[in-house]
Amino acid sequence: MKQPGPDHPIRISQYVGRVRVIFAGWTIADTTRALALKEARYPPVYYVPREDADMALLQRTAHASHCPYKGDASYFSISVDGRTAENAVWSYEAPFPAVAAIKDHLAFYPDRVDKIEVG
């Protein structure tokens, strides 16, 4: 486990605004309670509370990854009206203490959904 620091900063803040995720014409997630995670020089990632996502449209996959700063990520595919986006969603179900706020949240790959509206 690595700790965020000056060489690899991670900042999590409450996003003030609305985040909506659209796929195949369906609203997959819609929230005003998203967290914005800014990591090093990467663009911000918006983490949506699971309660604000349509979990019935997500199927857990066997795919997994590990981040030395955040922990182990599990993945979900989205299936709607015959369209599927494989491993389009990830979640840290037991994140490391430094990023504990993202527990029970979902993040979406922008290139695997039709749109992530942030405003």
The residue ranges of every structural domain in the chain are: 10-118
Residue 35: predicted pLDDT = 98
pLDDT one-digit tens code per residue, 91-117: 999 999 999 999 999 999 999 999 999
CATH code of 10-118, in short, is 2.170.150.40
- Is there a contact between 74 and 107 (Cβ–Cβ < 8 Å)? no
Which residues make beta-bridge pairs with 10?
39
Percent of the chain with pLDDT over 70: 100
Residue 87 gets the label, from left (phi > 0), alpha (psi -120 to 50) or beta, of: left
Distance CA 40, CA 70 (A): 13
pLDDT one-digit tens code per residue, 31-62: 999 999 999 999 999 999 999 999 999 999 99
